[in-house]
Amino acid sequence: MKAKITNQTTAATSQMGFGYYDSFGREIGMMTCVWEVDVVEVDGVAITYHTGFSEPGHYFAAETQATRNGKAYGASQRDQYFKTCEERDVYLARRWADSFKAAKKKGAA
């Protein structure tokens, strides 16, 4: 489905350090942005559109980004969209756990 995002809320951002440090002494952490969007279907000849949505409706969005000393570091993950807030929370909990595990393996306390 070709989709257009409408009524996007302002993203809420949070950042947390994991208490582990890389070889340069920077604290390894993760930043999370969450927001909500409404999605409507656009016609087949639309020039600008989003893909990846199966149906129009309200979606809960999230993006994560690795940090060093609270600043963005490396590549961010692409935006993820979920039909429920609970699905988004499960995704974020998994990302935080995976990132913490990687920080613990990579860094020193």
* In contact, 26 and 69? CB cutoff 8 Å: yes
Look at residue 75 and tell me whether its pLDDT is greater than 90.
Answer: no
pLDDT band for position 109 (cuts 50, 70, 90): low
**Average of pLDDT values for 72-100?**
94
Question: What is the 3 state secondary structure string of 4-25?
Answer: EEECCCCCEEEEEEEEEECCCC
* In contact, 31 and 72? CB cutoff 8 Å: yes
- Could you read off the pLDDT of 12-35 as tens digits, one per residue? 999 999 999 999 999 999 999 999
* Tally: H helices and E strands in the chain: 1, 6
pLDDT band for position 1 (cuts 50, 70, 90): confident
∠ CA 80-85-90, nearest 5°, is 70
